[in-house]
């Protein structure tokens, strides 16, 4: 991807606009449900027991317990409160840190007041036990805390003022207290109120709820507070501090839970029937089904798990999760300080803006189809950030960044098609007649390499024409002449374009081309010489067919020079041509004409010969002073290697004769060149020149062939 300031600006603006659009959608909650689904995927990916998970033990009132009560003890639902008393007593016997009942006892026991009193007494004796307190917005008979109920007092330092922002979400106006024997004896009350997200999935829970000026902890929080002996609570900057443990809160005062597994498979669960049986057997002096020690120093939560008891909640890891598992998860997160922290809004906005900016710029800078397609791979980055964020304990929003990046990439794709497509079509239209498809494609993919207007470049410039074409044209009809030219020019042009050359123009039978513009071509002198040699060889292949059409052989002459010129779009505002202007081009044209003097067909300047190095063998033809130039130039005839090897003896002899000519030893030059005169046209040209100079000796011999015509 090449750098372009204008593209950078386009991409930046598209990214900014995309971020603004998605931010508005996100603020309106449009993306919340999709984001929640991506969160659930992260939760499932990372769900695993934590360092404190085994400190939490569950007692489930499951279907097998209900069946046991009905078949073994003729207990219909609801069970007598004495069974819960047995659970509380067993936990006390086993040394449990605390025990919380995820149950609401708002109706008197059908077994009489004594039944309620037995359960209340068991709670009191335990001392670190509690029951659920129903709090609601519309349901609940109580609007004030009963004077007869002491219950739980959980003051929060700094909470009254700082937590005011959560008043609408944490404060509940109505309540339903347990029956008096239980309410007056229970050491703790725990809020069992919970509200799912908009899609009815429970992903978070509030640690406290307010009622009638008091703070009531959630059931999982109450289990910790009861065992800890009411540690001081403080609130500051979105974090509720409980002793050494911190509870980060979201914008509604809820804690984001780090779920440990499915329904209850991460916590150790005991059947309520087993616990009740064990307590009864211990009272009777029998061996219990469960040893009380399994609850030693553990937090115990009792709750219904049977489907018919209607306390199943969907969570990210399970569609049917017992409600007590949500409370247990909160307690586990609290003990291990592993709550998920909400990502700061400012940081989320910065992340969205940065990602949209990157997508916009990358998409706009893409110049190839695969680069544009690869840009969409960037959309996996937010998912990676979301995964890394979860591992680090943060809910980093994924969907806003993905949506913003997708909008940015789609927008720049449309922009690229509108702008780049037009530019590519213009380039193809402008150059398809002069450049090979490969070179045109390079221009299309890198249009910045085409600088409109003039620029100074070193080019290798090529001039060629057909020897004696005027006389050939006189024996052909216009139609025959055009057909011949088209066939000849097509064959030659194909080679020039294959070698990366740019066809500047045709002038009758003449071809003017150059290399190293509009695209950089580091080995342009080699390409130019190879093109000339290939054209000569191709014409040799076509010569028999052309002879059959015109009655004579066709030969081409070419001149090549390498040097600096000005190249660019030249002409008028209405019509212009991509061409060059400079002395290096004039010399190339002169070299094509010099071939006539020596009987050669390809002539290159010393500048080109130096640049091609050993790529092609060549022989020096002369030092020539062209018309209009005072300084002579050395000129060379390039060849293919096989051609050079085939004529090596002739070339060597010619070189000796040329050195004699340079020295002014014209008789010696004739003697050297005469044996090869019939084989070598340049040798014949030098013999003729030597004889002329012997007849008219030069006064000041410079060893330079003087051109008298262009």
pLDDT digits (tens, 9 = 90+) for 443-493: 566 665 455 457 899 999 999 999 988 888 888 999 999 999 999 999 999
Confidence grade of residue 367 (pLDDT, cut at 50, 70, 90): low
Is 636 exposed, middle or buried (CB count within 10 Å of its CB: 0-12, 13-18, 19+)?
buried
698 lies in the same domain as 660: yes
Region 585-598: mean pLDDT is: 94
- C-alpha to C-alpha distance for 414 and 408, rounded to whole angstroms: 10
Q: Maximum distance among all alpha carbons in the chain?
A: 151
510 lies in the same domain as 588: yes
Confidence grade of residue 442 (pLDDT, cut at 50, 70, 90): low
511 lies in the same domain as 611: yes
- C-alpha to C-alpha distance for 427 and 421, rounded to whole angstroms: 10
Q: How many structural domains does the chain have?
A: 4
329 lies in the same domain as 417: no
Would residue 38 count as lying in a domain? Answer: no
Residues 298-339: pLDDT tens digits? 999 999 999 888 888 999 999 989 999 999 999 999 999 999
404 lies in the same domain as 423: yes
Give the residue numbers spanning the domain of 594: 451-615
CB under 8 Å, gap of 24 or more: what pairs does 538-544 form? 538/491, 538/492, 538/495, 539/488, 539/491, 539/492, 542/487, 542/488, 542/491
439 has pLDDT over 60: no
Would residue 634 count as lying in a domain? Answer: no
Would residue 631 count as lying in a domain? Answer: no
537 has pLDDT over 90: yes
Q: Name the range with the highest mean pLDDT among 6-10, 406-410, 496-500.
A: 496-500
pTM for this predicted structure: 0.63
pLDDT at 1: 46
Would residue 529 count as lying in a domain? Answer: yes
Q: What is the CA radius of gyration of the chain?
A: 48
315 lies in the same domain as 347: no
Phi, psi of 564 (to 5 degrees): -80, 135
pLDDT at 231: 74
- C-alpha to C-alpha distance for 296 and 299, rounded to whole angstroms: 9
The tokens of 151 are what? 């219950």
Contact yes or no for 628/640 (Cβ under 8 A) = no
Q: Percent of the chain having pLDDT more than 90? A: 71
478 lies in the same domain as 525: yes
252 lies in the same domain as 376: no
Residues 642-656: pLDDT tens digits? 999 999 999 999 999
238 lies in the same domain as 386: no
pLDDT at 430: 59
Q: Which letter does DSSP use for residue 147 in this model?
A: T
709 has pLDDT over 70: no
Rounded (10°) CA dihedral 278, 279, 283, 288: 20
> Which stretch of 54-63, 114-123, 154-163, 519-528 has the lowest confidence by average pLDDT?
154-163
Would residue 40 count as lying in a domain? Answer: no
Would residue 627 count as lying in a domain? Answer: no
Q: Assign 230 to helix, strand or coil.
A: coil
E-strand ranges in 358-470 read 394-395, 455-466
- C-alpha to C-alpha distance for 120 and 606, rounded to whole angstroms: 113
- C-alpha to C-alpha distance for 295 and 287, rounded to whole angstroms: 17
- C-alpha to C-alpha distance for 648 and 86, rounded to whole angstroms: 116
Mean pLDDT of the chain: 90
Contact yes or no for 335/227 (Cβ under 8 A) = no
- C-alpha to C-alpha distance for 709 and 97, rounded to whole angstroms: 115
Contact yes or no for 233/334 (Cβ under 8 A) = no
Residues 215-251: pLDDT tens digits? 999 999 999 999 998 777 899 889 999 989 999 999 8
pLDDT at 193: 93
82 lies in the same domain as 21: no
CB atoms within 10 A of CB 503: 20
Region 143-172: mean pLDDT is: 81
703 lies in the same domain as 591: no
> Which stretch of 14-23, 449-458, 549-558, 616-625 has the lowest confidence by average pLDDT?
449-458
216 lies in the same domain as 324: yes
Would residue 660 count as lying in a domain? Answer: yes
pLDDT at 3: 57
**H-run or E-run covering 626:** none
253 has pLDDT over 60: yes
Region 21-39: mean pLDDT is: 91
Q: What is the 3-state secondary structure (H, E, C) of 231-264?
A: CCEEEECCEEEECCEEEECCCCCCEECCCCCCCC
Would residue 52 count as lying in a domain? Answer: no
Q: Give the domain-ending residue among 303, 326, 342.
A: 342
Phi, psi of 137 (to 5 degrees): -95, -35
In the chain, how many H helices and how many E strands?
A: 25, 28
E-strand ranges in 572-692 read 576-581, 602-605, 618-625, 633-638
- C-alpha to C-alpha distance for 486 and 498, rounded to whole angstroms: 18
The tokens of 135 are what? 């709090």
Q: Assign 132 to helix, strand or coil.
A: strand
CB under 8 Å, gap of 24 or more: what pairs does 586-590 form? 586/628, 587/559, 587/561, 587/563, 587/626, 587/629, 587/633, 588/461, 588/462, 588/463, 588/559, 588/560, 588/561, 589/463, 589/559, 589/710, 590/559, 590/626, 590/627, 590/707, 590/710
How long, in residues, is the chain?
A: 710
């Amino acid at each position: 991807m090449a750098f372009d300031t204008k593209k950078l600006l386009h991409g930046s603006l598209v990214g900014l606009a995309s971020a603004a659009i998605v931010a508005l959608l996100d603020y309106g909650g449009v993306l919340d449900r999709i984001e929640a689904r991506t969160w659930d995927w992260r939760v499932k990916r990372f769900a695993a027991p934590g360092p404190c998970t085994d400190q939490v033990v569950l007692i489930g009132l499951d279907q097998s317990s209900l069946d046991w009560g009905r078949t073994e003890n003729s207990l219909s639902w609801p069970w007598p409160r004495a069974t819960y008393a047995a659970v509380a007593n067993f936990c006390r016997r086993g040394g449990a840190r605390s025990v919380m009942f995820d149950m609401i006892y708002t109706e008197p026991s059908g077994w009489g007041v004594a039944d309620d009193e037995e359960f209340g007494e068991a709670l009191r004796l335990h001392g670190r036990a509690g029951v659920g307190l129903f709090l609601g917005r519309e349901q609940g008979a109580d609007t004030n805390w009963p004077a007869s109920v002491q219950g739980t007092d959980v003051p929060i330092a700094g909470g009254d003022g700082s937590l005011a922002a959560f008043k609408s979400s944490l404060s509940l106006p109505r309540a339903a207290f347990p029956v008096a024997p239980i309410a007056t004896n229970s050491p703790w009350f725990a809020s069992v109120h919970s509200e799912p997200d908009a899609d009815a999935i429970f992903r978070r829970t509030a640690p406290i709820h307010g009622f009638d000026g008091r703070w009531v902890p959630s059931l999982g929080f109450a289990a910790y507070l009861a065992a800890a002996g009411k540690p001081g609570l403080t609130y500051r900057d979105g974090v509720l501090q409980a002793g050494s443990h911190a509870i980060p809160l979201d914008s509604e005062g809820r804690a984001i839970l780090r779920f440990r597994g499915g329904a209850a498979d991460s916590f150790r669960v005991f059947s309520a029937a087993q616990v009740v049986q064990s307590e009864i057997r211990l009272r009777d002096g029998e061996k219990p089904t469960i040893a009380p020690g399994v609850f030693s120093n553990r937090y115990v939560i009792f709750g219904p798990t049977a489907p018919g008891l209607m306390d199943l909640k969907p969570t990210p890891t399970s569609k049917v999760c017992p409600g007590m598992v949500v409370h247990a998860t909160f307690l586990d997160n609290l003990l291990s300080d592993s709550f998920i922290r909400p990502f700061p809004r400012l940081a989320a906005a910065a992340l969205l803006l940065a990602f949209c900016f990157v997508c916009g710029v990358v998409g706009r800078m893409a110049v190839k189809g695969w680069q544009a397609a690869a840009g969409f791979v960037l959309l996996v980055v937010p998912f990676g950030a979301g995964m890394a964020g979860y591992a680090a304990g943060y809910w980093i929003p994924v969907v806003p960044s993905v949506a913003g990046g997708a909008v940015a990439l789609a927008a720049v794709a449309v922009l690229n098609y509108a702008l780049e497509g037009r530019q590519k079509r213009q380039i193809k239209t402008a150059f398809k007649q002069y450049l090979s498809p490969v070179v045109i494609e390079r221009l299309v993919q890198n249009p910045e390499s085409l600088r409109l207007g003039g620029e100074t470049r070193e080019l290798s410039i090529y001039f060629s024409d057909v020897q004696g074409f005027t006389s050939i044209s006189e024996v052909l009809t216009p139609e025959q002449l055009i057909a011949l030219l088209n066939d000849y020019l097509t064959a030659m042009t194909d080679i020039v374009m294959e070698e990366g050359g740019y066809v500047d123009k045709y002038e009758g039978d003449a071809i003017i081309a150059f290399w190293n513009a509009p695209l950089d071509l580091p080995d342009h002198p080699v390409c130019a010489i190879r093109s000339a040699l290939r054209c000569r060889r191709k014409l040799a292949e076509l010569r028999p067919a052309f002879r059959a059409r015109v009655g004579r052989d066709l030969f081409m002459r070419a001149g090549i020079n390498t040097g600096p010129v000005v190249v660019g779009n030249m002409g008028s505002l209405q019509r212009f041509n991509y061409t060059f202007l400079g002395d290096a081009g004039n010399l190339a044209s002169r070299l094509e004409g010099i071939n006539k003097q020596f009987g050669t067909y390809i002539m290159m300047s010393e500048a080109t010969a130096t640049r091609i190095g050993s790529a092609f063998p060549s022989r020096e033809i002369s030092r020539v002073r062209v018309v209009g130039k005072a300084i002579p130039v050395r000129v060379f005839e390039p060849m293919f290697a096989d051609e050079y090897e085939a004529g090596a003896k002739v070339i060597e002899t010619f070189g000796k004769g040329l050195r004699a000519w340079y020295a002014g030893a014209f008789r010696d030059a004739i003697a050297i060149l005469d044996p090869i005169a019939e084989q070598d046209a340049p040798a014949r040209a030098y013999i003729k020149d030597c004889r002329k100079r012997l007849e008219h000796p030069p006064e000041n011999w410079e060893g330079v062939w003087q051109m008298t015509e262009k």
